[in-house]
Amino acid sequence: MTDDPWEPFLSTVRTVFAFLVCAVIVLAALALVVGLLLLVRIHLRRIHEVLYLGDHPGVGSPGPEDFAWLGYHGGPVWWDLAEVYRRVRLDTGLFVVFLYPFLAVQAVVAAAHLALAWAGVVASRLVDAALLAARRIRMVCPNCFEAMSYPSYVCDGCGRTHRDVRPGMWGVFRRHCVCDRALPTLLLLGSADLDTRCPHCDHALEHRPGEAREFVLPLFGAAGAGKTRLAHGLYLSLEHGAELHPETLSVELMGEETERRLRESRTVLSPRHRVAPTPPGRRAHGATLRVAAGRRTLLVQMYDTAGEWFNTHERTEELSYLGRATTFLLVLDPLAVPAVWEALDAEEQRRLAGDRSGARDPERAYLQVRDQVQRQYRTLGAAPGRGRLAVVVTRGDLLAGTSVDPRGIPPERWLDEVVGAANLLRAAHVDFGSVEVFVTSAVTGPSGAPDPSLTTLSRWVLARDAGALGAALREPCDPLSDAGEERVPLSAGTGGPS
């Protein structure tokens, strides 16, 4: 075999060519790496501008109808992704295809954030709803009587009213008002500490709804039957119980309206004091009390509505709070019943003439309310016959010692035989799950303490919905506390109407 004289040359050429190819590949690889690093740098710089610095002209401030900034998961996460892509595409042109994997990573991170945020929204709402349901908290506006799933909250920074602060597109655990004040989105996160308003009528709700169960207590009856005085008596019996047992029971008037109406209860219940009837044109409004015993708290909304509202179906239909209640007080003035008045002798009639109201037909108010309650129960899907009714005979102190003195007689029997309310009682036992009759004296004694009959009625009112609160009203010195005597009135007394 002969040596090829070109072999050394060809070997040199191959070596040089291999070197050049490797150099080109290395340089191309370096160029690609540098180019890719440059593209990634451009991508990261745009992410910094849009996400960190907030340089996003496409996203403006909330408009005049918007009171909060959208949460990042409520839209801005996608707007930012689109803005980053737009800027990167303008910077890189066709080379943007090399950034698609990085943009895909950003999209995956955005989607993961979105999934976690909305999962947090759903979970927090479910937990909050479960807690409200477990505590049987249902919120009712004492002004418009509408039920609300959540009240509106007023920003303590700028005073704007936020209609629905619950977790959603405006925030998960906090929503940011346009004034940049952070507001809690749930009751369990502290939203109850903010000023609240009704989302339906915008009425200020000073009783901090959502913190405790609400107990709607309608008082109804003919005009002049004694509803206003009885409402004062119920409050005073609770206040007196709190004075006797401050370590276990507390009572607080919630709001200026309630304070104005009930703050003079002790004066109103003075035996010599006469109470003016509720003005017939005044719209019904609940007086709210916060009653607490130990760890149990109840928001009691008492509705003392003028008797004229119970005369016609059209007026009673406006009282939508009736469908929110399960306990009702039918207030009856015995002196206005002809059978009772005629049973008094001439001297008794002369003495009590000034205390007799013009209420002649307690059954009319009962039937109006009964029909409306049943109608509202059907609308709300509530079980019929679940309610409790107390037939409350007022002015018991004026009846003491007369020819129709109810003391020593079972109240229901006295109402049947003396008042002649057999038809009313029969209807009540059919329409309500539980019916009790009480004879009350809405007066105070010489010491300023309310008559024990009011405490007895208050215990019954609170017995089913807040047993611990009712038990806290039991007084060691109360003669009505003994078994078998709970519905026997009265404290002896004379004086003005009760």
- Measured CA to CA, the distance from residue 361 to residue 195 in angstroms comes to 43
Tell me which residue of 61, 255, 62, 66 sits closest to 160, measured CA to CA: 66
Tell me which of 186 and 485 has the higher pLDDT. 186
Q: Which helix (H) or strand (E) holds 67?
A: none
The residue to which tokens 């405490």 are assigned? 455
- Measured CA to CA, the distance from residue 440 to residue 481 in angstroms comes to 15
Q: Give the pLDDT band of residue 189 (cuts 50, 70, 90).
A: confident
Q: Check if the beta carbon of residue 226 is closer than 8 Å to that of residue 277.
A: no
- Measured CA to CA, the distance from residue 204 to residue 161 in angstroms comes to 11
- Measured CA to CA, the distance from residue 368 to residue 35 in angstroms comes to 84
Those residues with Cβ within 8 angstroms of residue 43's Cβ, 6 or more apart along the chain or in another chain: 84, 88, 99, 102, 103
The answer, as to whether pTM is greater than 0.85, is: no
Distances (CA, A) of 456 to 118, 238, 264, 478: 51, 11, 22, 9
Tens of pLDDT, residues 97-143: 888 888 899 899 999 999 999 999 999 999 988 888 888 888 888 88
Q: What is the pLDDT of residue 329?
A: 95
- Measured CA to CA, the distance from residue 226 to residue 228 in angstroms comes to 6
Average pLDDT (248-277) is: 82
- Measured CA to CA, the distance from residue 191 to residue 461 in angstroms comes to 30
SS3 for 315-340 is: HHHCCHHHHHCCEEEEEECHHHCHHH
Burial state string for 202-215 with b = 16 or more CB within 10 A and e = fewer than 16: eeebbbbbbebbbb
DSSP 8-class letter at 171: B
Q: Check if the beta carbon of residue 224 is closer than 8 Å to that of residue 394.
A: no
**Residue 475 backbone phi and psi in degrees, to 5:** -100, 135
Domain boundaries, the chain: 44-51+67-211, 212-481
Tens of pLDDT, residues 414-440: 999 999 999 999 999 999 989 999 999
Relative to beta strand 182-184, strand 174-176 is antiparallel
DSSP 8-class letter at 283: P
Tens of pLDDT, residues 195-222: 889 988 888 888 888 888 899 999 998 8
| In CATH, 212-481 is 3.40.50.300 | yes
Instruction: Return the structure tokens found at 301.
Output: 């909304």
Gyration radius of the chain over CA positions:
37
- Measured CA to CA, the distance from residue 467 to residue 490 in angstroms comes to 23
Q: Is the pLDDT of residue 497 over 50?
A: no
Tell me which residue of 18, 79, 24 sits closest to 50, measured CA to CA: 79
